[in-house]
Every structure is written in structure tokens, then in C-alpha cells.
Amino acid sequence: MADNGKKKMVEAITPMDEDFAKWYTDIVKKAELIDYSSVRGCMFIRPYGYALWENIQKTLDGMFKATGHENVYMPMFIPESLLNKEKDHVAGFAPEVAWVTIGGSEKLEERLCVRPTSETLFCEHYSHIIHSWRDLPKLYNQWCSVVRWEKTTRPFLRSLEFLWQEGHTMHETATEAREETERMLGTYADFCENYLAMPVVKGKKTDKEKFAGAEATYTIEALMHDGKALQSGTSHYFGDGFARAFNIQFTGRDNTLQYPHQTSWGVTTRLIGAIIMVHGDDNGLVLPPNIAPTQLVIIPIAAHKPGVTKKAGELEARLKNTCRVKADYSDNSPGWKFAEHEMKGVPLRLEIGPRDIENNRCVLVRRDNREKIEVSLDELETKIPEILASVQQSLFDAALARRETMTYACTDLDTLVDTAKNKPGFIKAMWCGDEECENKLKEIAGVSSRCMPFEQEHLADTCVCCGKPAKSMVYWGKAY
Amino acid sequence: MADNGKKKMVEAITPMDEDFAKWYTDIVKKAELIDYSSVRGCMFIRPYGYALWENIQKTLDGMFKATGHENVYMPMFIPESLLNKEKDHVAGFAPEVAWVTIGGSEKLEERLCVRPTSETLFCEHYSHIIHSWRDLPKLYNQWCSVVRWEKTTRPFLRSLEFLWQEGHTMHETATEAREETERMLGTYADFCENYLAMPVVKGKKTDKEKFAGAEATYTIEALMHDGKALQSGTSHYFGDGFARAFNIQFTGRDNTLQYPHQTSWGVTTRLIGAIIMVHGDDNGLVLPPNIAPTQLVIIPIAAHKPGVTKKAGELEARLKNTCRVKADYSDNSPGWKFAEHEMKGVPLRLEIGPRDIENNRCVLVRRDNREKIEVSLDELETKIPEILASVQQSLFDAALARRETMTYACTDLDTLVDTAKNKPGFIKAMWCGDEECENKLKEIAGVSSRCMPFEQEHLADTCVCCGKPAKSMVYWGKAY
């Protein structure tokens, strides 16, 4: 029974090396993160998937509030005339929105789009409440869902509707707004590295890749197990473009009328996809302890023997203040339970059986490297946090080492094309700054510019593509 | 300056007795809860309004989780064919939904409604995951926004889009499902009474007033300051109607195929409207301490005098573990600040000036009854929680006393009609159980049945309307 259980769970996953895309969708289903719905491109986020999002949300929300941001809620509909106010923005988004044309059985005079992002609504509100420099800065954020009419969709990575947070801020000066843009990118990077154990490259998007309507877009880019990049969070500086379009003006300290400077920044449920593809393995999900809904699962061994279930219950109650703990009392076999909680990526498992009880000890098993650690029951309160911290660090180290191994510096075009074709990962190469070269690299090597990293390196004097003088080093890659 | 400030804030509110509706909208604007948007019937929920919702959400979410419920997220769109599956449900909701007919520039083959409520989506998901009695119960909840195409709208009370939570559960037996329905109504009642300081009547809706598709709807009804009722939360028992329509079946303990029994229950941002209309006065909002974003505001008096601002800062830091505290260091006058924080309903104000510092004391002023209490600075940690608890209790007691004063028992039709016309409030009267009598009372007295309270009283033997034998006592009233 134990082995059957184990096989049944494990067999259902396609090995990562055989078919990465299939491996991914197997995990999202088998780890019970999502269920497919009959609504094209939309998903049911199940309790375990949503618990992950709640932990992401709680942590980030605390970080936002600690830096003075306040939460608000804007309508989910944007009248067409409002969306049309900023021309670059509407050009970028209009082709991929959903339109409400009928309400309460009647055709609407003006159709409403379901928000793909809310700059326009925030600007409308800001135009009502910003009058003086004393009203600035405004540091608002909202947690909501948005809709973008994608043609092909994948759970968490690209869906018609997704959950996110969008910060929208207004500042007295361009300098302050730029600082905010970088501060929030830094917040995202800290969060990804310290909570998701996922190293990221911080950088600036090229003009071709920037957000519709932004003057500059900053990004954090992470490398997935299959060598593809995932844009994991973005932060935009808008200058006063929207402010002019929406006529938002304030009286400055010098008594002149001025336009405020704006930012926006967001991360989405995509981060759950990132966790899967950075840490997962052929046994399923592997969750970083700092974000895992359950950090420790207690599994009674030979639970029918006297005292075992009782002891498991005692340990569960005792460890509640030490970590996020759960005991599995179901009547499945231990083998089944091992496989199930491995599939769900629980960072640490505690096995407790009659002989363990006799000897006042238990066995702890790490999810990441399957190491078994025998521990006295008297030491649990100190050992468990130590091991969880070690799992967290190991996951980060492994992801960083993999990224470094899979990052290739290329100084000539042939090498770049060859690398792009044969070696999944990031490519670092110099660039002249022309969109033409970006287009050409996309065409012949299938890679797009991920970002111009803040930490620049001088690999060569000339653009890898056209040979003209290089302006910056760029990370290139295939991306989700 | 002090007086000017005060007047400016206060003059802007219409007195409650002069025009209750105007008083209400003055408060939602002046207390900075909302701003109107150009999207008809939708509003911007501002930081102070959203902070109230966050407190409601956090408290209720904890109560839901403590009773075993898990959060999930369902798509915001419902394909027309899915909405059509349960015939009573679609008949109730189809006339008031918004339809997406165009996505990504193309006309959709099947239009999608923006969820007015999510029974259909939960049922689709449940049909995928419920197979055995071991899969039951399923106790799911989601926090999201929903859309109902209302013709006339008012902030928080009736809007096109509103925020809410919707619990959707599935059970092995009808008994269990009914127990869940009542348990969650009880949770709502506890929350309203203990956090919002708002007494509620618990009861069952008549068939005419029940939810589309439900076998039974339970409700909590509260009385507002103007004598109108507000339905503040509902809980529905569905039997197996949806389960049959969606073909959700499980193998029971006896190995037969069975349909599970279903509930749903929800509260909305309407509760913020309730707080305003139960506790507010002509100086603005009055917030129950248990839900107030700021429980204590510290106001430095003669802040330019040496040591005053410093002392305010010390007190703010010191009291962080005692209550939700904020000091107002703005350069407005104390009078302006008094008026502003009264408008925002902060339960308690601490005034600290040079003479107070000299005497090691301060003045605490209650928002509810404006009582001034001189307190030694050494006693703040004990006095403040005591006073906040007393404010909380006083608000509840006052609301309960008002409701009792404004509840009239009527045993004949003329008295009922006269009471309905001249005495705002609840009317208790016996009812035969026929919808005809409900319609007649609506027509001639302008009242609808609010609920058949769980705590029945025998006022008479016969229906107040038709004189036939009475089946139950009903609360009647005008409602929001």
C-alpha cells in the first residue's frame, strides 16, 4: 500500500527533462494549486495555491506599509474615453482588453473595459485630490485582479485574468519619483531573494520592451530551471505624461502650477509560477520555508500502535509557536503521505513512530536534498528553525549557482546564435542601443532583451549584432 | 484660526435631521472614505475607507479560518451557458449582470458575464473534485468584487461593483449544511455585535425575499439611525438543487451515489455604510474602537512650545503596543485637528500641552459623548484600553436602546399603516405566510418583510393583514 501510494502520486508527473512544459502543468494540477475552469484562460486557484498567494501578499503588504504606502480600491471598469486619454498607453493596451457592452439587459452608450491596469483610474482620482505640494507624495497601492486578453495561456504565467498588486504614486519632483521607482524594484528584489529564495537580475528595460506610456521601466528577471527567463516584477517611471493628459496640477512651494511625477509598480500570481520553475523537481513542488503555507508536516509511523497518534498530536500542538506545522492523521499509508507532501513541496517532514517515542527522538527529512536528520525530541524548538533556515539558504544558493552556470557572455554574433540555440540560459552581450539590433537578434537567435542590468560589465567595445559602438551590456534570453 | 478650521469642517455636513441622505453622502466624502469616479455607480475607496474594510476583512477572515474554512479564487467571468445551468438562479441574476461581448478586439462566440455571485463557478469546480464522502465537507471562501447592474446607486449601500466575501460549502448531509448556514449567520451576528457594536436581528427570509436558487435564506437585519433597516449579511441553504444541475455526486459511506448539500454566505462593503448610519452624528463618523483604523489620536497643544512635539512623539511610540495610535504633527491648528479627527470618527483623542507636561497628565476626550477625562501620564496603559472598551460598549448600548425604542408591535392593519407612515423603525406583526399579504403591506404601508426572527413572539393569533391564522411573527420595515 505504501509503495502503491507513492507510485501513484509520482508516476503522474512527467520528468522535467522529458517535457518541461508538461512537468509544469502536472505540478500545478497534482500539487493542487489550480483547477482548470470552463472559462478560457482563467483558472480556479485552489486552497493550497491561494495560501501561497496569501503569504506573498501578507509579506509584500507589510513591506509596502512599512515604506508609507496605503491601500485603496479602484473600480474594475474603465470607460473607453478614460482609457483613451493617454495615447501611448491606450495603443499598448486597447488590443488586449475585454469590453463590457451590455449592462442590465441594455446596450451601454459607452463601452467599459475590464481594467488591464489602473493608471487611468488612479489619475482620475489624483486629479480630484492633488492641489498643493502639501498633498504630495501620494503613495497608493491596490490588490485586485486584472484582465488581458491573451491568445495562449498557461496557469500563473500567462492567463486572461490574474491577481496582482499595483502601486501608483505621485511625487513633487522627478527625482523623488525616480527614487520611488528604484525603491520598489529593490523591495521586489529583496522579497524574491529573501522569501522566494530566487536570485534576480535588476535592470532597466530597453525602449522596445518598456510599459505602454512609461518613460522608463525597471525589471527583475529570474532564470527558470529550463533556462528561460521570467520577468518577475516591474516598476515604471512615467514622468508627467499622464499628469498632463489628465490635467493633474498642484501649486508648488514656489507658488507656481506644476505637474506631479508618477510611478507604478506591480507583481502578480506569476511569482507562484516562478517558485515552481526555480525550485521544483521530479517529485513535485519544492517550497522555500519563508513562503511555504506548511513548513513542517508531522507523519505518524505505524499510527495504529498505541501512543503514536497521541504523540503526533502533542508535537503538533507544541510546535505551533516554532513554525507553520500540520500533522497528517489521514488513513493513507506513510509512503503515500511522504509522496503527497513531497509533491506539495513541504520543506520539512517529521516522522514519529513507536521506536522513536521509546528513544525520545524523531527523524526529520528535508524536502530539498532528502537528507534525514535524527533529532532528540528535546531539541526540536532549536533544530527545526535551524534546518528551515538552512533549506531556505540552500535553495537560494542552488538557484544562484544554476543561474551562474547558465549565463553565457557572448562577444560575437555567431557565438550568440549558437549559444541561443544550444545552451538554454541568459546571454550577456553588448548592445548599441538600436531597436533594429533587438529585432534582428529576435529573428536570428530567438532571444529578446531582458534588461540592461544595473550592474554593468564591459565585455567588448562594440554591439554584438551590428558592430557599432556599444552603449550597454544587455541580458538576452528566451522568456515566458 | 482654530475656530475657522473647526467651522470649515463642520459646516460642510448637513445635519442628520435635516436631510439624512445628504448627511450620509457628506460623511462618506468629508471623512475621506470614498471619491466618486466617472464610472457610473462605481467608487474609489480611499485609504481611510479601505483601512476600515481591511480591519473587517482581517477579523472575519480569522473567524472563518478558525472554523475550518479555506480561501480560494475563482474567475471573475461566467460563461452564459454556465450561468444558465440553475434556472431559478439565472432568472434572479440575468437581468442585473454586465456582459463582456468583445475580447482582444474580437466578438466572443459566447458572452461572459462579470460575476454577480459565484455559485455556478464553485459548482463547476466542486464537480471536478468531489467524488467520495471523504472529500466532504468542502469549506471554501473567497474575497473579491462582484458586479450587479443597479439603476440607482449609493456609496457602500448599493453600487454597481462592490467588495465582499462569499463562502461556498458542500456537505454530506442536509443537516450538516443547515448547521453550517446557521453557524455562519451566527459568526456574522457575533462580528456585527462585538466589533461593529451593531445589534442585529437574526432570522429567516420569507420565500419572496430569499436568494435566487436557495431553499432558505437567513439574514441579519440592523436598524439605521433614520429608522430604515439594512440587510447586513445573508446565509443561504441550497439543498442539492445546484448539485443536481451541475451533476455533483459522491459515493457515500453506504456506497451509494449521492448529491451533496450546499450553502453560501456573504457580507459586503455595505457594512461600512452600516457603521456610518448606526453610529455617526452631526460631527461626522463615530467608529467603534474594535474596528477603527486609528483608536487614539494624539494632538499636541501649543506645539511650538518647547518639549510638546517631543512629548507627543514619546507618547506615540510608547502607546504603540497599547492601541492603534497616531499623532497629528501637521501645522493645522488644534481646533482644526479636533474637528478633522471627529469627522473621521477616531474613538479617543489625547491632548497634550505644556501645562499637562508640567503636571505629568493629559486630557482624553471620547468621540462618542465628548467626555473629557484627565489622566496621569503614568496610567495611560491601563486607562486607554478601559476607556476604549467603555466606548465600544456605550456605542452598542446606545444602538440597542435606539432600536428598542424604534421597534413597534402592531396587531391591526390601521395601526401598522399609521406606524409605517409616522414612526420610522421596525414593525413587529403576525403574518399568515402568504406572499399576497407581503405585497399588500408593501403597497399600502410601504414596508417589506425583513425576516422571521429566530426569537419568535406571539403578538396575536391572526395575520395583521388578512386576519387568517398567523404562522409567524415578522419584522417589517423600509429598507436600504
Q: What is the pLDDT of residues B450-476, one digit of tens each?
A: 999 999 999 999 999 999 999 999 999
Does residue A240 share a domain with residue A384?
A: no
Residue B208, C-alpha cell as written in the block: 419572496
Question: A289-307: per-residue pLDDT in tens?
Answer: 999 999 999 999 999 999 9
* Best to test chain B binding among A32, A72, A332 (most B CBs inside 10 Å): A72
Distance CA A242, CA A247 (A): 8
Q: Is residue B394 part of a domain?
A: no
Please name every residue paired with A448 in a beta bridge, in sequence order, or none if there are none.
A477
The answer to whether the Cβ–Cβ distance between B102 and A102 falls below 8 Å is: no
Domain of A460 in residue numbering reads as 407-477
Q: Cβ neighbours of residue B122 under 8 Å, at least 6 residues apart?
A: B74, B140, B168, B264
Q: Is residue B5 part of a domain?
A: no
Q: Cβ neighbours of residue B395 under 8 Å, at least 6 residues apart?
A: B197, B279, B286, B288, B368
Q: Cβ neighbours of residue B324 under 8 Å, at least 6 residues apart?
A: B292, B293, B294, B295, B296
Distance CA A87, CA A241 (A): 10
Q: What is the mean pLDDT of residues B16-24?
A: 97
Give the CATH number of the domain where residue A142 resides: 3.30.930.10
* Best to test chain A binding among B32, B34, B38 (most A CBs inside 10 Å): B38
**Burial grade of A175 (CB within 10 A; 0-12, 13-18, 19 or more):** exposed
The answer to whether the Cβ–Cβ distance between A95 and B104 falls below 8 Å is: yes
List chain A pLDDT tens, one digit each, 480 residues: 334 444 455 567 999 999 999 999 999 999 999 999 998 899 999 999 999 999 999 999 999 999 999 999 999 999 999 999 988 888 888 889 999 999 998 999 999 999 999 999 999 999 999 999 999 999 999 999 999 999 889 999 999 999 999 999 999 999 999 999 999 999 999 999 999 999 999 999 999 999 988 999 999 999 999 999 999 999 999 999 999 999 999 999 999 999 999 999 999 999 999 999 999 999 999 999 999 999 999 999 999 999 999 999 999 999 999 999 999 999 999 999 999 999 999 999 999 999 999 999 999 999 999 999 999 999 999 999 999 999 999 999 999 999 999 999 999 999 999 999 999 999 999 999 999 999 999 999 999 999 999 999 999 999 999 999 999 999 999 999
Nearest to residue B387, comparing CAs of B275, B289, B286?
A: B289
pLDDT of residue A91: 87
Q: Is residue B40 part of a domain?
A: yes
Confidence of residue B236 (pLDDT cuts 50, 70, 90): very high
The answer to whether the Cβ–Cβ distance between B102 and A99 falls below 8 Å is: yes
- Given a contact cutoff of 8 angstroms between Cβ atoms, the answer to whether B21 and B225 are in contact is no
Does residue A113 share a domain with residue A63?
A: yes
Q: Which value, in Å, is the radius of gyration of the alpha carbons in chain A?
A: 25
Report the residue from B100, B124, B144 with minimal CB separation from A37: B124
Does residue A133 share a domain with residue A264?
A: yes
Q: Is residue B359 part of a domain?
A: yes
For A172-315, list the strands marked E by DSSP. Answer: 201-204, 216-223, 229-239, 250-251, 257-258, 261-268, 296-300
Q: Is residue B138 part of a domain?
A: yes
The mean pLDDT of chain B is: 95
Q: Is residue A2 part of a domain?
A: no
Confidence of residue B6 (pLDDT cuts 50, 70, 90): very low
For A228-376, list the strands marked E by DSSP. Answer: 229-239, 250-251, 257-258, 261-268, 296-300, 325-327, 348-352, 361-366, 372-376
B150–chain A nearest CA distance, Å:
8
Q: Which of B225, B245, B279 is the last residue of a domain?
A: B279
Q: How many domains does the structure of chain B reveal?
A: 3
Q: Is residue B165 part of a domain?
A: yes
Does residue A84 share a domain with residue A34?
A: yes
Distance CA A135, CA A120 (A): 19
Q: Tell whether pTM > 0.90.
A: yes
A245–chain B nearest CA distance, Å:
16
Give all strands of the β-sheet with A325-327 in edge-to-edge order: A325-327, A296-300, A348-352, A361-366, A372-376
Q: Which of B279, B305, B330 is the last residue of a domain?
A: B279
Question: B114-160: per-residue pLDDT in tens?
Answer: 999 999 999 999 999 999 999 999 999 999 999 999 988 999 999 99
pLDDT at B2 over 60: no
The answer to whether the Cβ–Cβ distance between B37 and A75 falls below 8 Å is: yes
Query: What chain B residue is nearest to A97 in terms of C-alpha separation?
Result: B104
The answer to whether the Cβ–Cβ distance between A121 and B37 falls below 8 Å is: yes
* Three-state SS letters, A141-208: EEEEEEECCCCCCECCCECCEEEEEEEEEEECCHHHHHHHHHHHHHHHHHHHHHCCCCCCEEEECCHH
Q: Which of B332, B352, B387 is the last residue of a domain?
A: B387
Residues of B in contact with A163 (CB under 8 A): 73
pLDDT of residue B375: 97
Does residue B134 share a domain with residue B97?
A: yes
Question: B339-391: per-residue pLDDT in tens?
Answer: 999 999 999 999 999 999 999 999 999 999 999 999 999 999 999 999 999 99
Does residue B239 share a domain with residue B330?
A: no
Residue B444, C-alpha cell as written in the block: 399600502
Give the CATH number of the domain where residue A437 resides: 3.30.110.30
Give the N- to C-terminal CA distance of chain B in Å, as an integer: 40
Does residue B175 share a domain with residue B126?
A: yes
Does residue B429 share a domain with residue B375?
A: no
Residues of B in contact with A114 (CB under 8 A): 76, 100, 114
- Tell me what ipTM this predicted complex has: 0.95
Confidence of residue B197 (pLDDT cuts 50, 70, 90): very high
Does residue B416 share a domain with residue B367?
A: no
Does residue B142 share a domain with residue B88?
A: yes
Q: Is residue B472 part of a domain?
A: yes
pLDDT of residue A477: 98
Residues of B in contact with A70 (CB under 8 A): 47, 50-51
Does residue A365 share a domain with residue A246?
A: no
Sequence letter at residue A321? N
Give the CATH number of the domain where residue A351 resides: 3.40.50.800
pLDDT of residue A10: 53
Does residue B370 share a domain with residue B442?
A: no
* Best to test chain B binding among A30, A40, A43, A44 (most B CBs inside 10 Å): A44
The answer to whether the Cβ–Cβ distance between A147 and B76 falls below 8 Å is: yes
The answer to whether the Cβ–Cβ distance between A161 and B76 falls below 8 Å is: yes
Report the residue from B73, B95, B128 with minimal CB separation from A104: B95
Residues of A in contact with B47 (CB under 8 A): 70-72, 140
Q: What is the mean pLDDT of residues B394-406?
A: 98
